[in-house]
Structure 1
Amino acid sequence: MCGRKPKAVFMAFGTQGDVYPLAAIAAAFATDQKQYNVILITHSAHQSLSSHLGEKHVEFCAVSSPPVLSADQNNGIEGEGKSLFLLEKKKITRDHRRECFSLIERLFGDDTSVDGDLIVINFFALEGWSLAECFSIRCIVAAPYVVPYSAPATFERQFQREFPLLYKYLIEAPAGKVCWKDVDHWMWPLFTENWGSWRNDDLHLSPCPFTDPVTGIPTWYDRPQSPLVMYGFSKEVVECPAYWPSRVRVCGFWFLPIEWQFTCTKCRETLLYDSSGHQFEEDYLCPRHLELQNFVKASPIFIGLSAIGSMGFLKDPRSFISVLQAVLSTTNYKFILFTGGYEPLESAVRTIATEATLDQNSWSEDCLSLFNGRLFCFFSSIPYSWLFPKCAAVIHHGGSGTTAAVLQAGTPQVVCPFVLDQFYWAERMHWLGVSPEPLSRNHLLPDKNDDRSIQEAARVLSLAIHDALSSRVKIRAAEIAEKIFLENGVSEAIKYLKEELSLS
């Protein structure tokens, strides 16, 4: 063994909800295992993590690719426009993979492999699996949600027909070795052309994992261990079926350190909380944010769209605000809106405030009120663990991080999913009894900005809020919060990593 320190590389791509939980594990691992060099590889758009990670001695390495391509970006595009979009997408993918290879080569290419080296990936960083194979590094999967995609219904039948020996190799695998359950659960995209050509042409590996690059025959002589898969959610919330691979570990939710969740440095500095990080003193916000502190005393309804804007779904922010205004006109509710850093929504809020001839001198840099003070718009961030327990209900898109925070707070939910795992969480929350039936997106973001569409969306949203505020849902939300209160998902993840690496 060489004299260098072992390296733990955490490779996480996607939105904040995809990346930040793995960053939290990286920081905790670096604190627990000081003999390691710990590195996070993610998008440059998440640069704000750099300072937090630096305090924990975690190196931040950025790639230039965007966290997400607009989900609706290619809808309605035909002919040459669609071709250009697909070409641009291929170029982004090609450049992204090239940057990933360069970073891993810089980290591992000039060193003799150390037994403790590892690469931890999320489901949007499958490059890491092949790169780990290329440099003979152990690979572990860590995800804050269940696999957000599933294999086509015909996948197993086609696989068996095209790769009969490999299928036999996986089906008949000894206990503890990589097997068909691993492929069916999360590995299946690695056997598609999209990944095969990159593995073969750029990494000089076999196009198919677990096969010899020369003969294409399964590596019967070298069966790898089934990879560790860690999930960042609670067993009290998600059922863990028997057909999952035996090496899946469910940790509990991966909540971020409190100090990462502030935009305002003064609020962070004046925050007082106990050692558990959950119980806050009442008067903690800085003077600039006393208006926010006073507003939440009225138990408003929170609404936040997080990454939905950047995904391309919030095409008409004014129609969305009009829906909220229509709800306010027929109810006694108050809303607190977090804009999630989405500039078009923030611009629409400021424009409406200007048109209403509000006194701009009363505006602060990151908050203002609309509609007679009943809609409080906040452009920064405050820990959800402080805010959500003070809210009557939380309306959100079903992202895993927001869902976990609402469950922890014991607050009723209204979920409007848009993409991927958000639909799973929306259905799961309804099944658990902590929210009414999920909303369709047009009930939050109407397709048309006309009075009829706005009023219909407002009617449905009002009914959903009414159902969420029922005693039945409130009681159930409190029960779930009590069950997950003692869980510490990040600590559990560190425990599983240490077991995997035989660390004390």
Structure 2
Amino acid sequence: MKILMITAGSRGDVQPYAALAVALRAAGHEPVLAAATRSGEAFAGLGFPFAELDEGPLALAESAATESKLALYRKAKGMMGRMFDDAWAVAADGADVVVHHPGALVGAHIAERLGVPAVIGALTPLYVPTQAFPLPLLPPWTPPAFNRASYHLVDAISLPFRKLVTRWRSDRLGLPPGRGRRDAVLHAISEHVVPRPSDWPASAHTTGYWFLESPEDTELPRITATTVYIGFGSMTGADPARTTATVLEAVRLAGVHAILARGWGGLTPTDLPKNVTMIDQIPHERLFPLVDAVVHHGGAGTAAAAVASGRPQVLCPFIADQPYWGRRMHELGVAPPPLPERALDAGELAASIKEALSRSQEAARLGALVRTENGVGKAVHALEQLCRPSG
């Protein structure tokens, strides 16, 4: 079975797809992963082909804090078109199924053109309406009567690019206006974190997280005292220097040691105190089990790794689905209430770190449950069933 996988976004949006590609390859299938150019080096040597997509949209997203929405939109149109063309060029070799991140916008359309099933690989439960909870991008006070209807708002996210996609469908794929195929949704999420709603259709699967095993030779920091990890991934915020100063003061007030991840978020190395170590890239699945708590931005991938590590969390959400994961971790008892990054205060962050450290037993119990799941194995099985010849 040939599987074309198309994703968009930062490393947290690509790594789960890379994990699935490894599992598909091990099961005897032929996956191809298409993602932003910068991800190629990170996931080289894993045994499957990697196809580079123009990363203009990703670079544009990183400048969102410094440019107006109108300026961003004008730049985005050309950039998105180049990414679409790159994805279609990869599809020229054909596929039996397309697994795609909706943020890439054209996976469902390419599947329609190829005449093969289209499967959403969802890292957050955004794409299947349910009465159980509102669209995770909405605030928690959304009236329950609007829960199911709220999922129509997902279409509004891509609305600014609808004309661009429609024109591209016609010019490149020769297709009339339409929304593309959608045959199934694979939620790369643990049922212990988001229980499967009873009103989801059979085409909506919850597989468990898609984790990628990292090399055993990764050099890890030596930890000898109560230590927290602090990192905000690709999030930049309006003032990284202020965020860094706030984090360092919170570490001092909490009386802990810290491993500070530089990341794409621009956390800046100042004259660091002896109890703070700054690092670049270390796989979360190797590092998190070594620390006592994880302070992060609330990205779906980072939250998943923190859950699986069995360590308590402090979430400082920036945008999108991050507030949802902050609330969800608090509801599960493995984190204090989330602290929005835009109003981050050193005293509150210090207090939250101390509270998180008191939740270690709850976090350990949840982590043990999550680690029993085989998310990529279930996803491979679901794809095999979907593509099995009828009759």
Task: Give the TM-score of the pair, scaled to structure 2.
Answer: 0.84
Alpha-carbon spacing, 1:125–1:324, altered in 2? closer, same or farther (3 Å): closer
- Give yes or no for the alignment of 1:486 onto 2:372: yes
- Give yes or no for the alignment of 1:417 onto 2:340: no
1:306 match: secondary structure: coil
**Shift, 1:422, TM fit:** 1.2
- Give yes or no for the alignment of 1:107 onto 2:93: yes
Task: Map 1:18-417 onto structure 2 (within 5 A).
Answer: 18-33=13-28, 36-53=29-46, 56=47, 58-66=48-56, 68-71=58-61, 73=63, 83-104=70-91, 106-108=92-94, 117-147=96-126, 192-209=162-179, 227-259=183-215, 268-269=216-217, 285=219, 292-293=221-222, 296-309=223-236, 313=237, 315-341=238-264, 344-345=266-267, 348-349=268-269, 352-353=270-271, 370-371=272-273, 373-381=274-282, 383-417=283-317
**Shift, 1:438, TM fit:** 0.5
- C-alpha distance in structure 1 between counterparts of 2:331 and 2:193, whole Å: 10
- Give yes or no for the alignment of 1:15 onto 2:1: no
Alpha-carbon spacing, 1:437–1:134, altered in 2? closer, same or farther (3 Å): same
- C-alpha distance in structure 2 between counterparts of 1:428 and 1:231, whole Å: 16
**Shift, 1:308, TM fit:** 0.8
How far does the alpha carbon of each residue in 1:72-110 deviate from its partner, in whole angstroms, 9 at most, with x for none? 8456756xxx65433211111122222222332x313xx
Alpha-carbon spacing, 1:32–1:74, altered in 2? closer, same or farther (3 Å): closer
Equivalent pair of 2:262/2:280 in contact (CA under 8 Å): yes
Runs (5+) with no aligned partner, structure 2: 130-147
Alpha-carbon spacing, 1:493–1:77, altered in 2? closer, same or farther (3 Å): closer
**Shift, 1:145, TM fit:** 2.1
**Shift, 1:135, TM fit:** 2.0
1:120 match: secondary structure: strand
- C-alpha distance in structure 2 between counterparts of 1:189 and 1:493, whole Å: 26
Equivalent pair of 2:254/2:353 in contact (CA under 8 Å): no
- C-alpha distance in structure 1 between counterparts of 2:34 and 2:56, whole Å: 13
Equivalent pair of 1:301/1:394 in contact (CA under 8 Å): yes
- C-alpha distance in structure 2 between counterparts of 1:235 and 1:388, whole Å: 21
**Shift, 1:194, TM fit:** 4.7
Aligned to 1:428: 328
How far does the alpha carbon of each residue in 1:429-477 deviate from its partner, in whole angstroms, 9 at most, with x for none? 0111111111011344xxxxxxxxxxxx11111111122122xx22221
How far does the alpha carbon of each residue in 1:52-78 deviate from its partner, in whole angstroms, 9 at most, with x for none? 33xx2x111111223625558456756
Equivalent pair of 1:146/1:421 in contact (CA under 8 Å): no
Q: What code does the residue aligned with 2:17 have?
A: L
Paired positions, count: 369
2:355 match: secondary structure: helix
Equivalent pair of 1:149/1:420 in contact (CA under 8 Å): no
- C-alpha distance in structure 2 between counterparts of 1:12 and 1:330, whole Å: 40
Alpha-carbon spacing, 1:302–1:133, altered in 2? closer, same or farther (3 Å): same
**Shift, 1:297, TM fit:** 2.2
Aligned to 1:278: none
**Shift, 1:39, TM fit:** 1.2
Aligned to 2:144: none
**Shift, 1:480, TM fit:** 1.1
Alpha-carbon spacing, 1:147–1:52, altered in 2? closer, same or farther (3 Å): farther
Q: 459-468 or 61-70: which moved more?
A: 61-70
- C-alpha distance in structure 1 between counterparts of 2:290 and 2:202, whole Å: 40
Equivalent pair of 2:235/2:264 in contact (CA under 8 Å): no
Alpha-carbon spacing, 1:71–1:135, altered in 2? closer, same or farther (3 Å): closer
**Shift, 1:249, TM fit:** 0.6
1:307 match: secondary structure: coil
- C-alpha distance in structure 1 between counterparts of 2:227 and 2:77, whole Å: 44
Task: Give the TM-score of the pair, scaled to structure 1.
Answer: 0.67
Equivalent pair of 1:443/1:461 in contact (CA under 8 Å): no
Equivalent pair of 1:190/1:196 in contact (CA under 8 Å): no
Q: Percent same amino acid among aligned pairs?
A: 27
- C-alpha distance in structure 1 between counterparts of 2:290 and 2:41, whole Å: 27
Q: What code does the residue aligned with 2:165 have?
A: W
Aligned to 1:469: 357
Alpha-carbon spacing, 1:37–1:467, altered in 2? closer, same or farther (3 Å): closer
1:298 match: secondary structure: coil
1:394 match: secondary structure: strand
Q: What code does the residue aligned with 1:107 have?
A: D
**Shift, 1:403, TM fit:** 0.7
- C-alpha distance in structure 1 between counterparts of 2:62 and 2:82, whole Å: 22
Aligned to 1:502: 388
Q: What code does the residue aligned with 1:29 have?
A: L
How far does the alpha carbon of each residue in 1:284-333 deviate from its partner, in whole angstroms, 9 at most, with x for none? x4xxx6xx21xx22130110111113xxx2x4333222213322443421
- Cα RMSD after superposing both structures: 3.0
**Shift, 1:386, TM fit:** 3.2
- C-alpha distance in structure 1 between counterparts of 2:163 and 2:21, whole Å: 32
Which protein has the larger Cα radius of gyration, Structure 1 or Structure 2? Answer: 1
**Shift, 1:187, TM fit:** 7.1
